[in-house]
Amino acid sequence: MRSVIIADDEKWIVEGIKAGVNWKKYGFEVIDDAENGQEALQLIQSLRPTLVLTDIKMPVMNGLELIQRGKAIAPDTIFIVLSGHAEFAYAQKAMNYGTFGYCLKPFEIEEIEGMLNRIAQQHDSKTVKEQPIHDFELYEAVCSGDLERINLWLDEKKIPLSKDTPHIPIVIQGLSSPVDVRQFSSLVFPMSRRRYGYLLEECQYEVFLQGLKQTEVVQECGVGIGPPISDIQQLDASLESASHAAFSMFTTGMPGCYRVNPQQEIPIDEKLKEISRILHNKDRLGFIAAMESIKKLFKEGTFTIKEAYLLYTSILYLFPREGTRVSGRFFEGYEQLYYRYGTAEAMIDDLILMTLDIFMNRNETDISRISNHKVKEIMLYIRNHFNQEISIQQLANQFFLSPNYLCQLFKKEVGETIIEHISRLRIEYACKMLIETNLSIYQISEKCGFQDYFYFTRIFKRHLKMTPTQYRELNNEDI
């Protein structure tokens, strides 16, 4: 029987799903439930369920973080998101974190049961009838260049690798067990706990891929196709290329088949230099803009898992040099990065969040001291977008509050109004740019979010009792 956990802070929804769904019909059983993400994560760690149904909006830990951290603890656990129509964007974002699907409230029982049926079929289709080569011996032989051992396995499987019969290495990232390949003259071997390698004749691999599509592997995993090889000495390089291609599911956020991109890669060195400069200047908006531009390069397939690992490791290395140690940890390789985040987009979002402290002005209200979780979310959003046009109504719509209640709540928790808070952030950013750049006053006013130069000057003078020009001249004299 497949085990299920339901995570939702609305008890009536949990009980309704428990009672309304015919779990046994599809081979499932609800073994526990949780009222918040933290409780659900503890249950995942101890019970390792087959399936977790989770709400997005929950106290202590939301559904998106639960999915990310749950995947790291139990990679084989499947997640389905329970979401209201107003949270549709969050549900779509959850799909990038490796969820099976989402159900919009109010639920139709048939919709949930349809997903259970598909999950059951998927599990049945992955039953392995042929055991792969024991443990990781073949992959270790490839990595160590032990051609003698590799030749023995090729001979044992009667695989005629030559110029007349070229073979293609294929790597599938995200499998809990290998697919059945008995009908092919092929070699299958594990490369890690959820990554498998295949070596097939070039004339057979198209049929193999068609078979994968019938088992829905292509819709859930990253399939990497390496260059054809006719000599055993080419296996290592081609298999590595196939592995990088398989990890394209991580970089683009989309499962499917990927080949090695022959076009010249854009070096990430310039981006890392830019980030290093931004960190030195403690320019949060510049950091966000740089990371968002890198996010696009991942989605377009320009950057690979190699660049993702280099980006993550470099930022964690650069931050302590600037006097702040972030909460992230170094990973030993691509696999750990994949399991932790699922997608490059999720990784970048987490880097932006975890590196918040280094950009905070010491005189700013410390977000961590705000008790209301909703106000924390609003403050973080404002901090990331204060140079853009922000209205009370926009914030109210985005955070599902009435405009009046939003204003009252923010004033009570933060000690200043939303408009005052935004203006202060803009002026502080303007002060920083006046000292550290040679931009004109007009250019700085635009970059800070002020559409009118004269209004910017008036607000600046109200805060600092001097004009932007006077402020720049005064600070230049001090340097």
- Identity of the residue numbered 228: P
pTM of the model: 0.55
Label residue 171 by pLDDT band (50, 70, 90).
very high
Collapse the DSSP code of 41 into the 3-class scheme (helix H, G, I; strand E, B; otherwise coil) and give the result: helix
Q: Which pLDDT score is estimated for 225?
A: 92
For 478, the token pair is: 């001090």
In the beta sheet, which residues pair with residue 83?
104
Residue 2's SS3 state is strand
Residues of the chain above pLDDT 90, percent: 8
* 250-281 as b/e: b if 16+ CB within 10 A: bbbbbbebbebeeeeeeebeebbebbbebbeb
Helix or strand holding residue 305 (H, E): helix 305-321
- Per-range mean pLDDT, top range of 93-107, 140-154, 264-278, 408-422: 408-422
The Cα 329–Cα 102 span in angstroms is 30
Query: What is the DSSP secondary structure assignment for residue 288, as one 8-state letter?
Result: H
pLDDT of residue 328: 46
Over 60: is that where the pLDDT of 330 sits?
Answer: no
Provide the token pair at 33.
């439930």
Residue 454 CB coordination number (10 Å): 9
**Could you tell me the two tokens for 467?**
């004009």
Position with higher pLDDT, 87 vs 465:
465
The CA-atom distances, in angstroms, between 16 and each of 50, 121, 447 are 20, 25, 50
